[in-house]
A and B are shown apart, each in its own frame.
Chain A
Amino acid sequence: MDFTSFLIQLLNALQYGLLLFLVASGLTLVFGIMGIINLAHGSFYMLGAYLAFVLTSLTGNLLLTIALGVPLAFAFGALLEWLLFAHLYKRNHLEQVLLTYGLILIFEELRSLAVGDDVHGVAIPALFSASIPLSDNLSYPVYRIVISVVCLALAVGLYFLIQRTRLGMMIRAGSHDRDMVQALGIDIDSLYRVVFALGVALAALAGMLAAPISSVYPGMGSSVLIISFVIVVIGGIGSVWGALVAALVIGFADTFGKVLLPDLAGLMVYLVMAAVLLWRPEGIFRKG
């Protein structure tokens, strides 16, 4: 591999990793702060992508779609928490796993009933539809750079939200001791609702952003779910920073794995995970 190709592959790895981070960030947030395993996380990603498809067909503008879609997803997340997840906090992990597994099936079929099983595309916004030439026959779509920038901005934003704001402080406190926070007069129910809705919105946003480059098709949630889990396992449950590091590691392992060790490409991610777990069974940046 020559140097130019290496640089380009580096760019590919970075962009892939950042997008994975965006998807996994919602999972680790909900997981770490609320202690809930949510297998339906991939379905929220799919929801975002399909929302992008439907709304863009109506409005013709992806940016407008995102502006509308994120609040919609947030509201949906809040509703879902109020209806179902609020009952899960006292239940054990097994029940959470199973209930959210059931939800995956329900969401998939509802999607099939509502929008059908066809493959759809979403147009890249005209503003970002150019490509930057990198070599004499290869160029790089501007939109992918935009996605990377947005993901990075969100990572910084999340960090600030959790570490530097009052809301973030309440969230962190609530994850350590739910009852004490409640005793201090903070409405923990609303707090958890907000966090869950945020998790859903992040996953949906990832789906919306990725829709123009990934296409919109049935089953797109499953592949993203497993990789999100691996990222959370490697990064440490509840650590947003860990999710970022892990997502980048995976982005690199996957991209360079495909080029250097094509036969092991699919396994690469899991080999990395096994190696990390040998060293740190609870992830690199485990909480506490």
Chain B
Amino acid sequence: MKQAQQHRRSVMRAVVGLAMGALIPMGAAQAADKVKVGLMLPATGTYAALGSAITNGFKLYVEEQGGKLAGAEIEYAAVDDESDPSKATENANRLVVRDRVDALVGTVHSGVALAMARVAKSRDTLFIVPNAGADDLTGSLCSPNLFRTSFTNWQPAYAMGKAAIERGHKTAVTLTWNYAAGQEAVKGFNQAFTEGGGKVLKDLALPFPNVEFQSYLTEIAALKPDAVYVFFAGGGAAKFVRDYAGAGLKASVPLYSSGFLTDGTLEAMGGAGEGLITALHYADGLEVPRDKTFRTAYAAKFGTQPDVYAVQGYDAAQLLHAGLKAVGGDVKKKAEMRKAMREASIDSPRGAFTLSAAHNPVQDIYLRKAEGKVNKVTGIAAKALADPATGCKM
């Protein structure tokens, strides 16, 4: 008797749940002079700070234009992607299918961005990537609706390889996590290093996101290379540099990396990162007029200095603006908008850049040195570097 009661009630619960589901309001229709931007970025977890920097940068630009781009008012919808690829398709559908955004903007984590790319492509929604560096996004997955204002993992790594050769290093060992971003970066570094006559003694990798580096440090010391190239970011980066310095390797074997190693992590390194040379498409102390005005405005509004993520977000808004300008704010004119975006020249705080045929920035990669809490520019590692866009059929 009780069993049947239980059955009945759980069934009723399911019915109620369903009914509630059906009553949840569906996405609103679009007014002609509004453009809905869907921001899918991390609001929680390790990358939360990057997500908010990108959002800040994007919204700052839109505000500077008076809240309207080419006469169209910008509306926002936002989803926290939690940097979780397993929920990425669902989250992207929330913005693209349920909320029917005109432009999808995101994200930090490459795995999530790859899922977003597929969703955006299936609906032919404009998709602007303000960070995720997966080479494939403007490589084998390149697409007319997909634009990027950040970098490929290959770019800063290749530039670093070039710089390492120019600094006279002949042998190197690489170390990174066993994931796409790390592997793509190492490939870029190795390509430049071997092109310049150097020899890569060994490529070491540890499972992601393992941070027990001691055994690898011992191995590196045993191999005795001229230089070491690593790719780490976030908490792992801070720990690695501390361990590297603690093992005395910082003094004996020069360490190089893409700028993510030292962006936002110098404080957590407690001084262990002082003097580290990295390569990135942005740095502190750039002599670019746009950068100076951008930094002042950003600091005034948000109370903190901007970083490369804020710049990428800012430029994403600039790119969108370039597209909307060409169609007078009518986001339905997709082909013309995308053509204008493809041909745009962005006056970025990092320095002006254009997009390659695969829609990735062709930009200068700066050489930087960590001083205190900032990464000061010391030169240019590679000028107007374009990603080879392997596998792109556009």
Touch test A–B (CB under 8 Å): yes
- In the assembled complex, B45 has its CB within 8 A of some CB on chain A: yes
Task: Scan A199-236; emit 1 where CB is below 8 A from any B CB, else 0.
Answer: 00000000000001111111110010000000000000
Which of A1, A2, A255, A266 sits near B214, CB closer than 8 Å?
Answer: A255
Task: Scan B27-51; emit 1 where CB is below 8 A from any A CB, else 0.
Answer: 0000000000000000011101100
Whether A118 and B246, one on each chain, are in contact in the complex, defined by CB atoms closer than 8 angstroms, is no
Which of A123, A140, A213 sits near B239, CB closer than 8 Å?
Answer: A213
- In the assembled complex, A259 has its CB within 8 A of some CB on chain B: yes
Number of interface residues of A (CB under 8 A): 48
Cα separation A102 to B253 with both chains bound (whole Å): 46
Whether A215 and B46, one on each chain, are in contact in the complex, defined by CB atoms closer than 8 angstroms, is no
Whether B235 and A119, one on each chain, are in contact in the complex, defined by CB atoms closer than 8 angstroms, is yes
B-contacting residues, A93-150, CB 8 Å: 112, 117-124, 131, 133, 135-141, 143-144
Which of B206, B238, B247, B270 sits near A140, CB closer than 8 Å?
Answer: B247
Whether A117 and B247, one on each chain, are in contact in the complex, defined by CB atoms closer than 8 angstroms, is no
Min C-beta distance of B169 to chain A, whole Å: 15
Cα separation A12 to B268 with both chains bound (whole Å): 23
- In the assembled complex, B23 has its CB within 8 A of some CB on chain A: no
Whether A131 and B214, one on each chain, are in contact in the complex, defined by CB atoms closer than 8 angstroms, is no
Task: Give A4's nearest chain B residue, CB to CB.
Answer: B222
Cα separation A176 to B142 with both chains bound (whole Å): 65
- In the assembled complex, B216 has its CB within 8 A of some CB on chain A: yes
Min C-beta distance of A97 to chain B, whole Å: 22
- In the assembled complex, B70 has its CB within 8 A of some CB on chain A: no
- In the assembled complex, B217 has its CB within 8 A of some CB on chain A: yes
Cα separation A121 to B212 with both chains bound (whole Å): 16
Task: Scan A73-104; emit 1 where CB is below 8 A from any B CB, else 0.
Answer: 00000000000000000000000000000000
Whether B243 and A258, one on each chain, are in contact in the complex, defined by CB atoms closer than 8 angstroms, is no
Collect the chain B residues with CB atoms within 8 Å of residue A216's CB.
235, 268
Collect the chain A residues with CB atoms within 8 Å of residue B210's CB.
223, 265-266
Q: A121-B269, A258-B206, A258-B215 are in contact. Are A215 and B48 (CB under 8 A)?
A: no
B-contacting residues, A128-183, CB 8 Å: 131, 133, 135-141, 143-144
Min C-beta distance of B109 to chain A, whole Å: 14
- Dominant SS at the B interface? helix
Whether A137 and B212, one on each chain, are in contact in the complex, defined by CB atoms closer than 8 angstroms, is no
Min C-beta distance of B36 to chain A, whole Å: 28
Collect the chain B residues with CB atoms within 8 Å of residue A8's CB.
218
Task: Scan A255-268; emit 1 where CB is below 8 A from any B CB, else 0.
Answer: 11011001001100
Task: Give B270's nearest chain A residue, CB to CB.
Answer: A121
Which of A15, A118, A214 sits near B211, CB closer than 8 Å?
Answer: A214
Cα separation A258 to B267 with both chains bound (whole Å): 29
Q: A119-B265, A262-B204 are in contact. Are A218 and B46 (CB under 8 A)?
A: yes
Collect the chain B residues with CB atoms within 8 Å of residue A61's CB.
none
- In the assembled complex, B303 has its CB within 8 A of some CB on chain A: no
Cα separation A112 to B47 with both chains bound (whole Å): 12
Which of B44, B46, B252 sits near A137, CB closer than 8 Å?
Answer: B252
Task: Give B52's nearest chain A residue, CB to CB.
Answer: A117
Whether B49 and A2, one on each chain, are in contact in the complex, defined by CB atoms closer than 8 angstroms, is no
Whether A117 and B218, one on each chain, are in contact in the complex, defined by CB atoms closer than 8 angstroms, is no
- In the assembled complex, B248 has its CB within 8 A of some CB on chain A: yes
Whether B222 and A1, one on each chain, are in contact in the complex, defined by CB atoms closer than 8 angstroms, is yes
Cα separation A218 to B238 with both chains bound (whole Å): 13
- In the assembled complex, A190 has its CB within 8 A of some CB on chain B: no
Cα separation A37 to B356 with both chains bound (whole Å): 56
- In the assembled complex, B205 has its CB within 8 A of some CB on chain A: yes
Whether A137 and B268, one on each chain, are in contact in the complex, defined by CB atoms closer than 8 angstroms, is no
Task: Give B267's nearest chain A residue, CB to CB.
Answer: A121
Whether B222 and A5, one on each chain, are in contact in the complex, defined by CB atoms closer than 8 angstroms, is yes
Q: A215-B242, A262-B205 are in contact. Are A138 and B218 (CB under 8 A)?
A: yes
Whether B215 and A12, one on each chain, are in contact in the complex, defined by CB atoms closer than 8 angstroms, is yes
Collect the chain A residues with CB atoms within 8 Å of residue B206's CB.
258, 262, 265
Collect the chain B residues with CB atoms within 8 Å of residue A45's CB.
none
Whether A131 and B242, one on each chain, are in contact in the complex, defined by CB atoms closer than 8 angstroms, is no
Task: Scan A227-259; emit 1 where CB is below 8 A from any B CB, else 0.
Answer: 000000000000000000000000000111011
Min C-beta distance of A64 to chain B, whole Å: 17
Q: Which 7 A-B pairs have the closest CB atoms?
A: A217-B235, A139-B248, A138-B221, A266-B207, A121-B268, A137-B252, A141-B246
- The interface of chain A, by Cβ under 8 A from chain B, is 1-2, 4-5, 8-9, 12-13, 15-16, 112, 117-124, 131, 133, 135-141, 143-144, 212-220, 223, 254-256, 258-259, 262, 265-266
- 18 more A-B residue pairs beyond the given contacts A121-B267, A215-B242, A217-B234, with a C-beta to C-beta distance below 8 A: A12-B214, A12-B218, A13-B215, A117-B44, A117-B45, A117-B48, A119-B46, A120-B267, A120-B268, A121-B238, A122-B270, A137-B248, A140-B247, A219-B45, A223-B210, A255-B214, A258-B212, A262-B204
Show 22 A/B contacts (Cβ-Cβ < 8 Å), sorted by A: A5-B221, A5-B222, A9-B215, A12-B215, A118-B268, A119-B234, A119-B264, A119-B265, A119-B268, A123-B270, A136-B252, A137-B252, A138-B217, A138-B247, A139-B248, A141-B246, A219-B45, A223-B210, A254-B212, A256-B215, A266-B207, A266-B210
